[in-house]
Structure 1
Amino acid sequence: MTELLNLLFNPLPNGIMTVLTGMSLLYWVFVLFSGNGIDFGLDADLDVDSEIGDVNDVDAPESGDVSFFSKAMDFINIGKAPFMVIMTLFKFVGWIITIASSIIFQIGKWGVWSVLILIPIFIVTYLLMHWFTKPLVKFYHNLGYTGEESIDFMGRTGKMKSTISEQKYGSAEFYINGDMIRLNVVSQNGDQINYDETVIIVNESKDKKIFYVKKEYTLNNI
């Protein structure tokens, strides 16, 4: 038992990944005892699907560039399966790779610098997640999961996480019902909206994958 605990928390990368994975385990234990079950996993999804659907129902640009973040999330199928499920799997896979790496490469000898091994591990884990999440996508598809939030986003305010103008798409974060949700957004009238500026949602595409925003003026930014 002592040897197992030592492996789980030493060297430093093992300890970091053990704590992160443990946090996800506690999250799902809470979900289990709260009685929400799998529905909670569905509701906790972040709508970051980067596919651009039919937007003919609104007066908006015909095309645009999907943000790098949205493309990155789409690569590991977030939006096609719940965010928390995928993130838990990401941590678990990264944890296994970290433990294996600590044994194979004897990274305990690196001291504090051993934490740098997490960089390539996260990259490898991210690439593997594209394939590891495919069974999850199929599973949730069979459950009828669409990745769409049953939330009325109209009038919601949030912070830009990229700069948008004209026909360029970007992303913004909105704090809704205790969750931080990142959405694909585009400027309603083509005006430039800068990173970290406050915006308000004024319209959405028919498939609710693109949201049209305008800058919200307050006493702080007038």
Structure 2
Amino acid sequence: MNELFKIIFSQVNIVLTILLILLVIYWILTMISGIDFDYDVDIDIDVDIDADAGIEGGNMDFQDVSNAEISEEHVIGKRKRSLKWWQIILIYFNFVGLPFMFTFTCWVFSWWFITVLTTSITHTYQSSFGFLIMLIAFVPALILTKIITTPFKNFFKHLNKDGDKEIDYLGRRGVMLSTVSGTKMGNAEIMIDGNPYNIYVKSLDGATIAYHQEILIINQSNDRNYFLVQAYNN
């Protein structure tokens, strides 16, 4: 056991070990009931995507960011154009289409496992050659991550960002938590079986919908990240 600790906390492996421990703590805290990383922060999103996606920044909390799923529509956009090298990497290794933190955790674990195993077998966990092995392991870790995460793609398609079975919001009424108009995105609250749900919305026809105004959900965006709504008049 002492030898194992010596290997995983060696000068070569300690960085990946600490990163993996932090990720494990993150997932434990996330799964514990009653703990919610809900820090409401204004984030300006500066991503190379099609302008038709209509994302102009807005209120996003910590949980939204950590569980964010980057869709292919965001990476590729609706225009026919060549993909950049980093876009191809994101798509190919499943950082697109799955919650980012899920894929990132699988990648870090794979990188850590390959590095620890290889440096242990070659007894290089205390040498400069071990650092070279760690850097080289970066690539096979990505390949292993793709193998591990691919079976989960269909599973996550049927879940919302909170991990519950997806709810049918279409045709439901709600209340605006912000004012929207044109292509501006805002928040709305929907009550379903006595439980409040916060969703991102845009005006269906671009008309202004005021704060606390009652709305009707008409449709969902193609990338499934927001809903199109209109004012509801009793």
Q: TM-score, normalised by structure 2?
A: 0.51
Kindly provide the amino acid, as one letter, of the partner of residue 140 in structure 2: V
- After superposition, the C-alpha distances for 1:24-61 in whole angstroms (9 at most, x for unaligned) are 11211221235359xx8776244543457884xxxxxx
- For 1:41 and 1:120, the matched residues in 2 are separated by 32
1:192 corresponds in structure 2 to none
1:128 corresponds in structure 2 to 144
2:118 to 82, 101, 106: 101
Distance change in 2, residues 1:154/1:79 (3 Å): farther
- For 2:130 and 2:70, the matched residues in 1 are separated by 33
1:90 to 88, 96, 107: 107
- For 2:184 and 2:84, the matched residues in 1 are separated by 22
Whether the 8 Å CA contact 1:90–1:125 is kept in 2: the answer is: yes
- Number of aligned residue pairs: give it: 144
Query: Is the counterpart of residue 64 in structure 1 residue 81 in structure 2?
Result: yes
- Unaligned runs of 5+ residues in structure 1 are 56-61, 146-151, 156-205, 210-222
Kindly provide the amino acid, as one letter, of the partner of residue 207 in structure 1: N
Which structure shows the bigger proportion of residues in helix conformation? 1
Query: Is the counterpart of residue 80 in structure 1 residue 79 in structure 2?
Result: no
- For 1:25 and 1:3, the matched residues in 2 are separated by 22
Kindly provide the amino acid, as one letter, of the partner of residue 6 in structure 2: N
- After superposition, the C-alpha distances for 1:144-180 in whole angstroms (9 at most, x for unaligned) are 66xxxxxx9948xxxxxxxxxxxxxxxxxxxxxxxxx
- After superposition, the C-alpha distances for 1:49-78 in whole angstroms (9 at most, x for unaligned) are 3457884xxxxxx42122222211111212
Kindly provide the amino acid, as one letter, of the partner of residue 136 in structure 1: F
Query: Matches of residues 44-59 of structure 1 in structure 2 within 5 Å?
Result: 44-51=66-73, 55=78
1:137 corresponds in structure 2 to 153
**RMSD, aligned CA:** 3.3
Identity across the alignment (%): 20
Distance change in 2, residues 1:70/1:4 (3 Å): same
- For 2:154 and 2:69, the matched residues in 1 are separated by 18
Query: Matches of residues 62-211 of structure 1 in structure 2 within 5 Å?
Result: 62-108=79-125, 111-143=127-159, 154=184, 207-208=222-223
- For 1:66 and 1:45, the matched residues in 2 are separated by 24
Distance change in 2, residues 1:88/1:36 (3 Å): same
Distance change in 2, residues 1:139/1:127 (3 Å): same
Whether the 8 Å CA contact 2:13–2:125 is kept in 1: the answer is: no
Query: Matches of residues 18-57 of structure 1 in structure 2 within 5 Å?
Result: 18-33=17-32, 34-36=34-36, 44-51=66-73, 55=78
